[in-house]
Chains A and B, each alone.
Chain A
């Protein structure tokens, strides 16, 4: 088995179909509010008050499910891709193996939650951006990408879903999300600790890793799906991010790039829609 696997080779059964972030961004349709458009929602935050709450929650749950599969694969690949000692400390690889087990349980939990919500495996397209963006060939960058950016996103997602369960009075959803959230905080903390440790005497490498994390964080804002604006379906879970070892300025940065991503996406969509209207 070779080292380093491209995202387009992730093995899936016949139920799955995959897309890339590039394809997703090529979609000029919108799910966010455009100025003066009363026919759209005024608030995109995923809460039970949304008209399409059940469908949106189900779609997000499927996104979580495939995201957990990619996180499982990412953690597993870290055990394999890097030579113990030379490229990655033994203890780091033990943590990644532990994370693989946690992610495997998250896939199991997501399957059960999908059943509960009436989703079917493969019902929605899988975006392979998580694996693609986070799984760098450099172990330190991978830590930053997987354990801080990807798992940080997971904290935001699980917090949103946990709150959704609380408000809807869905004990099953709330229970599951709470447990998964606990694991994700642990994974981010693991990443924060390892990143500090591995780059202790190499400030340049640490800087590079944090820059990489920032790029991935912006990518994981999915064109504004996550931000502190109500126009985004997912919020930023400041409290749990702090528990996981993010500093205030790091969380502020995530909030800032997410907002940028939202605004860029809105401008891009408005431009494309105007162009399409002009061509009619």
Chain B
């Protein structure tokens, strides 16, 4: 496995490329993706909390705006937890795409807001089960914003959160069904 982090040094934030690489290595081990090469590319000029993954290329590209690795309590400083969670989110999405039945899923930029929220729910639930710190309520809120604030939507969220093995068709159908009630 090869993990590269760019840039190697940072001007806008106090991040440490070697530290990011170490965390990425640990997370890759936890997720069983040590056979995949990753390129972690950080846009340090943006404070946005934004990540995306391109699994169609080798190495898999993980694109991160600096806000996604940042300690929100200490601006411009790196947060180990946020770095871990953001990398894990991207790596798990890449794993889903490469060998988890998500080959037919649209690219990250083409996902609808509801599809992205459903996939994130499925990802974050699995991360929480391997002891990566996840605030379930935050992801429930994200789900509700995309699928509606009602009992039907909440029940669908709970099913998604408990799901162990879904493919893209199952996930997108569940998302569509949850949204149909709100619509």
Chain A interface (Cβ < 8 Å from any Cβ of B): 17, 19, 23-24, 27-31, 39-41, 48-49, 51-55, 57-59, 115-120, 122-125, 168-172, 273, 276, 279-280
A274 smallest CB distance to B (angstroms): 10
Distance of A77 Cα from B87 Cα, bound (Å): 45
**Contact surface of B with A, Cβ cutoff 8 Å:** 11-13, 43-50, 66-67, 72-76, 113, 116, 135-142, 144-145, 148-149, 182
Q: How far is the CA of A276 from the CA of B11 in the complex (A)?
A: 7
By beta carbon, the residue of chain A nearest B139 is A118
CB distance from A72 to the nearest CB of B (A): 21
10 A-B pairs besides A17-B73, A170-B145, A276-B12 with CB distance below 8 A are A19-B75, A27-B76, A29-B12, A40-B46, A51-B113, A53-B145, A55-B49, A118-B140, A118-B141, A125-B73
- Which one of B46, B136, B145, B182 contacts A54 once the chains associate, using CB atoms below 8 Å? B145
A52→B113 contact, CB < 8 A: no
B50 touches A51 (CB 8 A): yes
Set of chain A residues within 8 Å of B141, measured between Cβ atoms: 54, 58, 116-118
List the A side residues contacting B12 at CB < 8 Å: 27-29, 276
Is B48 touching A31 in the complex (CB atoms < 8 A)?
A: yes
Contact of A115 among B48, B72, B137, B182 (CB under 8 A): B137
Bound complex: CA A39 to CA B43 (Å) = 10
CB closest chain-B residue, reference A171: B149
- Whether the Cβ atoms of B73 and A48 lie closer than 8 Å is no
- Output the nearest chain A residue to B70 by Cβ-Cβ distance: A29
Residues of A within 8 A of B144 (CB): 168, 170
Of A24, A59, A118, A122, most buried by chain B (CB within 10 Å of CB) is: A118
In whole angstroms, how far apart are the Cα atoms of A273 and B43 in the complex? Answer: 12
B residues in contact with A54, CB < 8 Å: 138, 141-142, 145
Q: Give complex CA distance A27, B45 in Å.
A: 10
Please indicate the chain B residues that have their CB under 8 angstroms from the CB of A41 in the complex: 48
Chain A, Cβ-Cβ closest to B13: A29
CA A36 – CA B135 in complex, angstroms? 35
Give the chain B neighbours of A24 by CB distance below 8 A: 75
A31 and B47 contacting across the interface, CB-CB below 8 Å: yes
Minimum CB–CB distance for A25 against chain B, Å: 11
Q: Are A273 and B45 in contact (CB under 8 A)?
A: yes
Q: List 19 A-B contacts (CB under 8 A).
A: A17-B73, A17-B74, A27-B47, A28-B12, A29-B47, A31-B48, A31-B67, A49-B113, A51-B113, A52-B48, A55-B49, A57-B145, A118-B140, A118-B141, A123-B73, A125-B72, A273-B45, A276-B11, A280-B11
The 6 closest A-B pairs by CB, nearest first: A118-B138, A118-B137, A54-B142, A29-B47, A17-B73, A124-B72
- CB A21 to nearest CB in B, in angstroms, measures 12
A51→B51 CA distance, assembly (Å): 11
A148 to chain B, nearest CB (A): 29
Does B142 lie within 8 Å of A120, measured CB to CB?
no
Q: Is the CB of A122 within 8 A of B75?
A: no
C-alpha spacing A39/B11, complex, angstroms:
20
Question: Smallest Cβ distance from B97 to chain A, in angstroms?
Answer: 19
Known: A49-B113, A168-B149. A119 touches B138 (CB 8 A): yes
Q: Are B149 and A172 in contact (CB under 8 A)?
A: yes
B182 near A169 with CB under 8 A, answer yes
Complexed CA–CA distance, A65 and B96 (Å): 38
CB distance from B94 to the nearest CB of A (A): 19
**B residues less than 8 Å from A122 (CB atoms):** 73
Q: Distance (Å) between the CB of A120 and the closest chain B CB?
A: 7
